[in-house]
Structure 1
Amino acid sequence: MVEALIATSLIALGALLAAARSLPLAVTVALTFSMGLVHGWAHGAEMPAGAPMQAFFAGFLSATALLHLCGIGLASLVMQRGAAVALRAGGVGLAAIGCGLLAGL
């Protein structure tokens, strides 16, 4: 079930990027929290038996933060260059990946 939720979150995020619509802050926070919860659930379920929990979670939280910073930086760069169409195309691609993952389940 968690894989379907992750694929659905990719479709939703991709659709929002492709539509280039702003959402109220409360909605954005709720969506971000729920998507993060689903992805964190998947990572927690994949934790190796006997692994030190604190080190495992510190590692994937650090990697998640780095990925977010890279994404924010890339999106900022794209928007500064006036290439919003590239950001929208990326959203379409992300939604297509989510659809492909969902179809493969």
Structure 2
Amino acid sequence: MIRRSIFAAILLAVTTPALAHVGEHAVSGFSSGFLHPFGGIDHTLAMLAVGLFAALLSGRALWALPVSFIAMMLMGGGLGLLEAELPAVESGIAASVIILGVVVALGWRWPVSAAMVLVGAFAVFHGYAHGAEIPADADGVAYGAGFSLASMTLHGAGIAAGVVALNRTIVVRLAGAGIAATGFILALS
């Protein structure tokens, strides 16, 4: 089952275009916001990596990392809605997938506060990209709520996978390596 999951993730990575890019598609409300993270492999992988990272750290990291990510993602979304200037958004998103994947792959034990800063910094880029995409006539609050709920769902999936596989750390670390490798491929495309 693990091999099939890894194979499916790799296939998705090479066949699905990254959709967390400013201005590439239209959004409207809650359902668009909820579905969006599942259509962009870069966001999906970053959310899963946050969950895996939280599982590796355990304890309060299980809730602190996702909360930090969601809070900073919403802040970044607000900056995008306000059309504030944020340089290197695409690079920040790509870096989030690569770096979070590497951190999980290497099994690095971070202080929870430092891990919160790392995931929060990346979250600003993810939020900004999606906030900048929302059309002026769309319901940004409903979209943001849907997007946040979907992101939390993906965090939960990463945490669940990490907790289930924690006694087999190699599985979690291989998943991190797969995420980092896919992020690198996405950055090159």
Equivalent position of 1:12 in the other structure? 99
Q: Please point out which of 71, 87, 91 is paired with 2:172.
A: 87
Segments of structure 2 that go 5 or more residues without pairing to the other structure are 1-87
CA distance in 1, matches of 2:188, 2:101: 16
The two structures have a TM-score, normalised by structure 1, of 0.89
User: Hey, what's the Cα distance between the residues in 2 that align with 1:7 and 1:98?
Assistant: 6
Q: Which has the higher contact order (CA 8 A, sep 6+)?
A: 1
Q: Deviations over 1:16-59 (max 9, x none)?
A: 01111101122101001111111111111222341111111111
CA distance in 2, matches of 1:14, 1:91: 4
Map 1:21-100 to 2 at 5 A: 21-79=108-166, 82-100=167-185
More helix by share: 1
Give the Cα–Cα distance (whole angstroms) in 1 for the partners of residues 162 and 140 of structure 2. Answer: 33
Q: Could you list the runs of 5+ residues in structure 1 that have no partner in the other structure?
A: none
Q: CA RMSD in A?
A: 1.2
